[in-house]
Structure 1
Amino acid sequence: MTTPTFVYDGDCSFCTTCAEFIETRIPTHARVVPWQFADLESLGLTVEQCEEAVQWVGADGSTASGPDAIALMLRDAGRGWQLAGGALQLGPVRLAAWPAYRWVADHRHLLPGGTAACSLPQAQRDLLYGKDA
């Protein structure tokens, strides 16, 4: 793999809004792709990992999730974004980032742009809306 990849939940409107912000405002070299349309096997990811948190797969195949993935994506963007990504990787900030990330992930269906489907794991979405929904 030569291009890093940032993977998010494309069924979640809040996540999609964040991904659109990344694509339009953050000059990362990464492909920004919903996991539902990604070749997870070739990325070395599982559905469970992608349901749990955003994922970063580096050009070298290394992976990170949640705020660690966000930090690497920001560092990849260079300049001012690189500073923000580096700050997110600092011990105390990283320690606080995980509970904050988990809270947002658990409540994303209540955030602007979120929908009820955002709170459901993929297996439940498939049961309620059909596998192709």
Structure 2
Amino acid sequence: MENVTNTQPTFVYDGDCSFCTSCAQFIERRIPTRATVIPWQFADLGALGLTVEQCEAAVQWVGLDGTTAAGPDAIALLLRDAGRFWSLAGGTLGLSPVRAAAWPAYQWVADHRHLMPGGTAACAVPQNRRPAPATES
């Protein structure tokens, strides 16, 4: 794992997925985190110490010290960063028995995000198999 020092934490999600984007919009509206919430497609992944493969597999958290976490571990850190009630929820999500259940649940949602509210067929297609955007000539 590469550590990169950041000026604020960063939460990275799949901006091509409507379900993920809806969740990110909820975070931005309702959860008072200090983190920058950004689609991986617009993030400087190299500067964050992340790869496309990591970002396609799960949401990512990059802390102030460059430490990374994925999936429900990333969500737990985002919640803990938000303080008050959210911190309690994040701490609970980080507990071993809850964390053990959270990973399979997270993976199920990730595998079925195209079926979730706001999901689209594009959510089911891995980035490396999505058509390239059209360019104007």
Q: Secondary structure at the residue paired with 1:7? A: strand
Match of 2:23 among 13, 18, 27: 18
Other-structure match for 1:36: 41
Other-structure match for 2:8: 3
Separation (CA, whole Å) in 2 of partners of 1:132 and 1:104: 30
Separation (CA, whole Å) in 1 of partners of 2:82 and 2:40: 21
Q: What's the TM-score once normalised by structure 1's chain length?
A: 0.95
Give the deviation of 1:102 after TM superposition. 0.1
Q: What's the TM-score once normalised by structure 2's chain length?
A: 0.93
Task: Give the residue type in structure 1 aligned to 2:39.
Answer: P
Other-structure match for 1:27: 32
Unaligned 5+ residue runs, structure 2? 1-5
Other-structure match for 2:56: 51
Equivalent pairs, count: 130
Task: Give the residue type in structure 1 aligned to 2:47.
Answer: S
Give the deviation of 1:132 after TM superposition. 5.9
Other-structure match for 2:118: 113
Q: Judging changes above 3 Å, is the alpha-carbon distance between structure 1 residues 77 and 66 closer, same or farther for their aligned structure 2 residues? A: same
Q: Judging changes above 3 Å, is the alpha-carbon distance between structure 1 residues 124 and 81 closer, same or farther for their aligned structure 2 residues? A: same
Task: Give the residue type in structure 1 aligned to 2:83.
Answer: G
Equivalences for residues 65-104 of structure 1 within 5 A = 65-104=70-109
Unaligned 5+ residue runs, structure 1? none
The CA deviation string for residues 68-93 of structure 1, in whole angstroms up to 9 with x for no partner, is: 00000000000000000000000100
Other-structure match for 2:3: none
**Structure 1 residue runs of 4 or more that deviate by more than 6 Å after TM superposition:** none
Separation (CA, whole Å) in 2 of partners of 1:92 and 1:131: 43
Separation (CA, whole Å) in 2 of partners of 1:20 and 1:77: 15
